[in-house]
Amino acid sequence: MLFKENADTIEEKPFDKWVPLTRGPFGYSIARSVAHQELFGEILVLCDKARIPLIALHFETGPGVIEASLHYCVAGGRGSSIAFKSMIKAWAQTRGMMATFMAKVSEKWPGRSGHIHISVASDGDNAFHDRDRFRSISKQMSQFIGRQLKYMSVFCVLAAPNFNSYKRLVPGCWAPACPIGADMNPYLALSCAIGSGILGIEEDAALRASIVGDASEKTCHTSARLPQST
């Protein structure tokens, strides 16, 4: 999330008075992307020079919110999420702006999420796909997800590392009370996601029944809901 602020102005006024780069909740706006193409161009050039493989860059839902998607890499390979965050924060200051990856800046605006995508190959084939099973989800994928769900609350201490992280994990805030935020340490979060999934395959874990309806409402008062504080 980008603000038209600097190190001095953010000290002079409360955070709810900070001015975001754009106004309104509009995401995937072509008009906004064109209007700010110079800024986007600078980010793309920086990523290219830093050898950070950026494959998508666009405005997301919320004032001043931008989504950046990094190219996949082999688990254990060279990561670039933390480098990207540090680079963007420094770059923003050179433009007279401030960038934050805080999970929840204000109750008035959507939070900032962090998405982890995992695929598993076996002898060159997608181990998570089986066209003969329900929704084409293979047994290995069911096992993988089963243990992720079981240990997700335990791993919150690593995947949701800040007090502010839990302000986003509430019903009605654009996301179920179970995903991680943009303030995560991607290496720790990915280790948790992969480690729990592998454990599920080793233990032949079962995937619990899916929730039909509003998951936020149905998990609001059950053990399935994630922790609400550190």
pLDDT digits (tens, 9 = 90+) for 57-90: 999 988 999 999 998 887 765 557 888 999 999 9
**66 has which bridge partners?**
59
Question: Do 31 and 140 share a domain, yes or no?
Answer: no
Residue 108 in any domain: the answer is no
Model's pTM, two decimal places? Answer: 0.83
pLDDT higher than 60, residue 194: yes
> CB–CB of 15/5 below 8 Å?
no
Instruction: Name the domain count of the chain.
Output: 2
Question: Do 121 and 228 share a domain, yes or no?
Answer: yes
Question: Do 121 and 219 share a domain, yes or no?
Answer: yes
Return the pLDDT at 174.
61
In the listed set 100, 125, 143, which residue is the last one of a domain according to the structure? 100
pLDDT higher than 80, residue 211: no
Question: Do 30 and 55 share a domain, yes or no?
Answer: yes
Question: Do 92 and 192 share a domain, yes or no?
Answer: no
Residue 106 in any domain: the answer is no
Q: Which domain covers residue 34, as residue numbers?
A: 1-100
Residue 105 in any domain: the answer is no
Question: Rounded to whole angstroms, what are the CA distances from 147 to 53, 108, 140?
Answer: 30, 34, 11
Return the pLDDT at 77.
58
- The mean predicted confidence, pLDDT, of the chain is 85
In the listed set 65, 100, 135, which residue is the last one of a domain according to the structure? 100
129-176 residue pLDDT tens: 999 998 899 999 999 999 998 888 888 888 888 888 878 777 666 655
Return the pLDDT at 221.
47
Residue 93 in any domain: the answer is yes
33-53 residue pLDDT tens: 899 999 999 999 999 999 998
> CB–CB of 178/115 below 8 Å?
no
Return the pLDDT at 58.
93
* Angle at the Cα of 27 from the Cα atoms of 86 and 87, rounded to 5 degrees: 10
Question: Rounded to whole angstroms, what are the CA distances from 111 to 23, 50, 116, 165?
Answer: 15, 28, 16, 9
- Of residues 172 and 8, more confidence is placed in 8
Return the pLDDT at 184.
86
> CB–CB of 20/97 below 8 Å?
no
